[in-house]
Amino acid sequence: MADRAAVDKVIEVTGAVKRYADKTVVSDVDLSVRSGERLVLIGHNGAGKTTLMKLMLGLTHPSAGCVRVLGSNPATAAAEQRRTIGYLPESVAFHSAMKGREVLAFYARLKSVAPAECQSILEQVGLDQAADRRVSTYSKGMRQRLGLAQAVLGKPRLLFLDEPTSGLDPSLRRQFYDLIDTLSLSGTTSLTSSHSLNEVEARADRIAIMKNGSIVACGTLSELSQQASLPMVVRLRVVAGHTAGVAEQLVSMGEVQRVNDHGIHLSCPGASKMELFRHIAGFGELIEDMDVVPPRLDDIYNSYMQNVQPQ
C-alpha cells in the first residue's frame, strides 16, 4: 500500500534552485504541502516568495532540483489539471472595457465551470452590485476582489495567492479568509504569500519563512516559536504592597522586565512555563490575575530577519 503521507502531498519541492544569470533567487528549497492545508509564505521583499510560487505554477523552470504539484511537473501538466488550480498574482489586471460579470464568465469557460456559479462567487466577494459595471470604473480593491473571484472559481484543488488581501478593507479581508477556510474544509489546499503577519497568523496551519532565497523555518506558530527560542511573557497582578517580594522570588524563574505597585511582567522560556505556573500557584491569594502572552508572528519574523537589508 502506498504511504498515506506521500499520497496526501499536493506540493513537493526538493532542492529547488532558481538562477537568473549570476543571481540566485531561490536557493535549495525543500517544502511539502499536504491536501487541505493552509500554508502561508512570509519573508522580506526580494526573499524569493513570488519566484518560488511561479516555480510551483510552472510559469518558470527550476535551474536545479525538482518541483511536483498534484503529482506532476507543473510546467508540463495537462490542461485538465491546470483547471483545478487557482492563482491570484500580486498585481492583478483585467481588460478595462469588460464588465465584471463578463470577466468572470470568461474564466468560467476556461475552467469548464457552470456559468451559474459566477453569481454566487460575485456575491461572496461583494461585487454582485457592481457586476455589470466596466472594470475601468473599479477601484483597486474592487479589482482585487474580482481577482479573488476568478481564483476561487470552480472550487479549485489548489490555490496560489500572492498578497491576496491587498486593497481590501478589514471586513472584506475577514470574508476572504472565511472563504478560504470553507474551501480548506472541503479539501482545497492554499499557499498564500503575505506581508500582513497579524492577519495570517490565526489563519494558517503552517507558516514558512523565506530569507535571501531560502526557507529558514517552517511549522506551526508554536513550532516556530520554539525554533526561534523566543520567550513568552507572563503578566501578574499582585496584591498591593507585595509586588517586590513576589518579584524577588520569581527572579530564578526568568527575567523580571517590569515591577510596579500592582504588577509584574516576567519573561521565561516556553519550555519552563509549567514549572513557572506551579511556582506562581504557590503564592495563593497574593496573585489576583495572570495573563500569558506567547510570541506573536511578527516577533518570530523579526528574530529571523535580523541583518536583512531593506529592498
> Per DSSP, which regions of 8-77 are E strands?
9-20, 23-34, 38-43, 64-69
Banded model confidence at residue 200, pLDDT cuts 50, 70, 90: confident
**Residue 120 placed within a domain:** no
Distance between CA atoms of 75 and 69, rounded to whole angstroms? 10
Strand partners, 66: 14
**Residue 140 placed within a domain:** no
Q: What is the dihedral of CA 140, 142, 145, 146, to 10 degrees?
A: -100
How large is the average pLDDT for residues 146-159? 92
263 and 196, same structural domain?
no
Angle subtended at Cα 55 by Cα 50 and Cα 57, rounded to the nearest 5 degrees: 90
278 and 207, same structural domain?
no
**Residue 290 placed within a domain:** yes
Which distant-in-sequence residues (6+ apart) come within 8 Å of 294 by Cβ?
221, 222, 225, 232, 270
Instruction: Say how many CA atoms lie within 13 Å of 32 toward its Cβ.
Output: 10
**Among residues 196, 226, 256, which one ends one of the domains?**
226
CATH number of the domain within which 211 lies: 3.40.50.300
**Residue 273 placed within a domain:** yes
Distance between CA atoms of 154 and 168, rounded to whole angstroms? 22
Q: Which residues of 194-207 are buried (b: 16+ CB within 10 A; e: fewer)?
A: bebbebbbebbbbb
Banded model confidence at residue 118, pLDDT cuts 50, 70, 90: very high
172 and 66, same structural domain?
yes
Residue-level pLDDT at 183: 86
181 and 246, same structural domain?
no
Q: Which of 24-38, 172-186, 220-234 has the highest mean pLDDT?
A: 24-38
**Among residues 186, 201, 226, which one ends one of the domains?**
226
| Among 296, 73, 308, residue whose Cα is nearest residue 210 | 308
The answer to whether 30 touches 13, Cβ cutoff 8 Å, is: yes
**Among residues 197, 226, 255, which one ends one of the domains?**
226
Tell me, what amino acid is at 144? Q
Domain containing residue 8 = 4-84+156-226
Residue-level pLDDT at 3: 41
**Residue 115 placed within a domain:** no
163 and 51, same structural domain?
yes
**Residue 133 placed within a domain:** no
190 and 279, same structural domain?
no
